[in-house]
Structure 1
């Protein structure tokens, strides 16, 4: 009976956490209210303050599940059960955060440990299972905010730390009853100082004196959602037609001749090495423009019943040459973990087809004296893949993507925001080619030169700078994430170690009216 009463007392806190999770989801595209993150984090902490470890699990789960339900409803295109499963899976990480944070909040250094623990949680979600899902990082919401400029200095993990720290400072200044006037004043000044510093950061966009002219071709697809599957030849011919139209404009003098043409991921789903018709289509386009085309192709192999998602540099003189295979295929989208065990029970997974084998090595492609870094679709959200290109000397980044499955759902907008943040972090122009949108050009400071519509043909030619200078974030690489994660773990260990010897702590201001200010023993 006592446990039931304790659970009932916990319900208001869970409801506050659910509300905070919904607010955080609204911070991201397509809603785009980034500063809601600085409201959601302190509300979440207020819900956690004073609860036990078990209570923290429930409060954290309520926050995390709601957060991802609002963030990635686009996954319901695959199936409502898939969207629910992902929200629950990611919510479990925040359940662990809640359990640990409920104790860290009682430690004297809680204002440091909490944002570090948040980075550790994001690191975990971006790593496991099956390579992780790094879609919900706080940093992604701040592309259009001056705060986002910090990504060029401290990287994505560092920016997430800063956002979480602002939430902690807001909590200390406004919601925490035990905060004295001095602490409230310091928290307020520190928060304003962090935001003020971000306004002073200047992001250079000039190159090394060289520039290249590139054409991004969005040929469009014949249907939305899953309808485009099985219409590979039509998609390829759409991109051929768009490229031939571009050449006609060049010959008429209404368009500048490009140095490189970029086709998107899945611009051909039929292996051009083995299918004569597909090869002829590509050759027709390449011979028309007389410059290399970076083709997005699905190729067979390397093993039996395997395929790879690739970018192939197709030269007008030498044909297919350099090739990059996607290193981070999407689980249950491009390959099926535990395939033999799951297929008999989930027939829908048969739509995935052959297993996509991951590639080896970064997509560094020297083309006519310029080093391009190729990223394919979702893998632009993974730090290691982007870091390998930036540290490898890529002067321009290319994203080949296919968002046709999720067109009109908000997913393309979220991916475009992540792309813009990568431009800021690396200080590189990013050229995006999508089958159906969003294609475009993002400058090294994250500003948008061109952004296509969705489910329309679009060809854009841009002259962009070739850049060699590396940002501090590129030079630091993964160190900020590792250090902050380590500090978060240390803080959690210290808090748990002190748990038995600690005197009962004042839980602070409850987020809602509760029968007692005492700890909720769940």
Structure 2
């Protein structure tokens, strides 16, 4: 018969209070927190070692177990800093070190809260070790829900779900979206740490090993219904960006000319019979930084390209306002013969803090004037559902692909194809690959084929099972043409909306509250292993 750990045995009358289990030595815990952050980092693109995600969760869970709350927060913050400072390094390229540091710290603080929660639930795990996978899954899903929304509207980069592009767990996206993928990956991490601590008990060891394996590999057996039915031919144009020798205005015109000329060359290939006639051409975000609704030269160039290719072009551009400081980031459909269709355009709804607008700009300006390189982008007010004739697009722009609701709104609005317009010219290839991983998850989540088109790369198509087709190189010009199936299923994830996440957050709150009686019991025992061993 397996006896409970000494900390959990009920003392008899007159017996001394039992000694409670102690946490790991603080230097060991700190080393595990650093390793956890590194594992979570290397699980994500461009490294793509997806199996390190549950390992990272397990390492942090072991580090914070049985610690005081402030130590749990500190260890979580260390893991978050190790993850986010290198992961978000590309945010420093255009606006300097301050936005990068502020954003990375803000994200690390929320991982700190996850570490604190892990420390808080230690009595529950000690009493019922089988709860560790469940609690780990709930805590990580809840912290990602918080990061999706706060601070400054949230920045959900580095989610566990976005590391699973090549993993069997990607299929779970069709059943519960990114929150379900994160929950299962984190639960596998909880099973791993429980497994390690169950080494003296073979039955528990086998159970947790089986649970971890089932969580990580079992989803491979889940069925997916990929898009099928009628197809439409779509071309994506990656025009590339000149790097040196041009002033600002000449640079903007050169970017537009690159996309116009690439489309003209595609039209020549079509006329020669070497390429299929596209029903739609998609240009990236900022393919025309010159507002074609205010600049007739830009409008004439785009119209000539649309007329030559004989297909509508979704153009990524910036629309100026009467206030020179304010802009909109839009995708607008440009038809051959008739030009812009103002009824079929989408303004980005979620500009990203520190990259597209600067929160607390007066305060940040006191530290560095580079904050003024970040424009003041205004949000749009409706989902990006664009009727292009041959296909209805679900247009999201750049970082918006990371936000669950913004993508889902386009699908519930009738989108047959997910289109992500992005501009990575001021970032690097790692950032582009991180975005492509998100596109892969969204395609599976909503049962839609998808595309990502960038000014400089990486661009490509994604099928309904997350497979990438025609991926381009970085810092190069390219055109890719593909037939897209437009009859996609309405997945369980699309139908359920954000309910899986809401349920996970509610259960997390209930679990955190439910631990309170056990913590009070420990306090009554008067020999809390956390207290005496905190600095060990």
TM-score, normalising length: structure 2 = 0.89
Q: Are residues 165 and 302 of structure 1, via their aligned partners in 2, closer, same or farther at CA, if it must alter by over 3 Å?
A: farther
1:33 corresponds, among 37, 49, 52, to: 49
Contact 1:41 1:168 (C-alpha < 8 Å) held by counterparts: yes
In structure 2, the partner of 1:103 is 120
**Structure 1 SS opposite 2:28:** helix
**Structure 1 residue aligned with 2:61:** 45
Q: Give the CA RMSD over aligned residues.
A: 2.6
| Partner in structure 2 of residue 63 of structure 1 | 79
Q: 1:19 and 2:32 equivalent?
A: no
**After alignment, is 134-143 or 58-67 more displaced?**
58-67
Distance 1:519 1:495 in 2: 21
Q: Does 1:134 align with 2:156?
A: yes
Matches within 5 A, 1:74-89: 74-78=90-94, 79-89=96-106
Q: Which residue is equivalent to 2:269?
A: 249
User: 1:513 matched to which residue of 2?
Assistant: none
- How has the CA–CA distance of structure 1 residues 95 and 251 changed in structure 2, closer, same or farther, with 3 Å as cutoff? same
Alignment correspondent of 1:318: 338
CA distance in structure 1 between the aligned counterparts of 2:526 and 2:213, rounded to whole angstroms? 29
* Residue equivalent to 1:512: none
Provide the C-alpha distance between the structure 1 equivalents of 2:201 and 2:119, rounded to a whole number of angstroms: 21
Q: Distance in 1 between matches of 2:510 and 2:135?
A: 8
For 1:422 and 1:227, locate their aligned partners in 2 and report how far apart those are by CA, in whole Å: 38
Range 246-255 or range 389-398, more displaced: 389-398
- SS in structure 2 opposite 1:437? coil
Q: In the alignment, what sits opposite 2:389?
A: 368
Runs (5+) with no aligned partner, structure 1: 1-5, 509-515
Listed as ranges, the matches of 1:33-432 within 5 Å are: 33-78=49-94, 79-107=96-124, 108=128, 109-175=131-197, 180-207=201-228, 209-223=229-243, 231-301=251-321, 305-321=325-341, 322-343=344-365, 345-353=367-375, 355-408=376-429, 410-432=430-452
Inter-partner Cα distance in structure 2 for 1:477 and 1:51: 36
Q: Distance in 1 between matches of 2:294 and 2:83?
A: 45
Moved more, 484-493 or 182-191: 182-191
Residues 334 and 76 (structure 1), Cα distance of their counterparts in 2 relative to 1, 3 Å cut: closer
Could you report, residue by residue, the CA deviation over 1:192-238 in whole angstroms, capped at 9, with x for unpaired residues?
A: 2233431212323242x2110011000100028x9989711000000
Counterpart CA distance in 1 for 2:526 and 2:250 is 61
Counterpart CA distance in 1 for 2:210 and 2:28 is 31
> Number of aligned pairs?
505
Tell me, yes or no, if the aligned pair for 2:132 and 2:190 is still in contact at 8 Å. no
> Higher relative contact order by CA 8 Å / sep ≥ 6: 1 or 2?
1
In 1, are the aligned partners of 2:443 and 2:450 still within 8 Å (CA)? yes
Would the alpha carbon gap of residues 318 and 158 (structure 1) be closer, same or farther in structure 2, given more than 3 Å must change? same
Q: Aligned-pair distance for 1:464?
A: 0.9
Per the TM alignment, residue 317 of structure 1 is displaced from its structure 2 partner at its CA by 2.9
Q: Is the 8 A contact 1:228 1:404 kept in 2?
A: no
Shift in Å, 1:11: 2.8
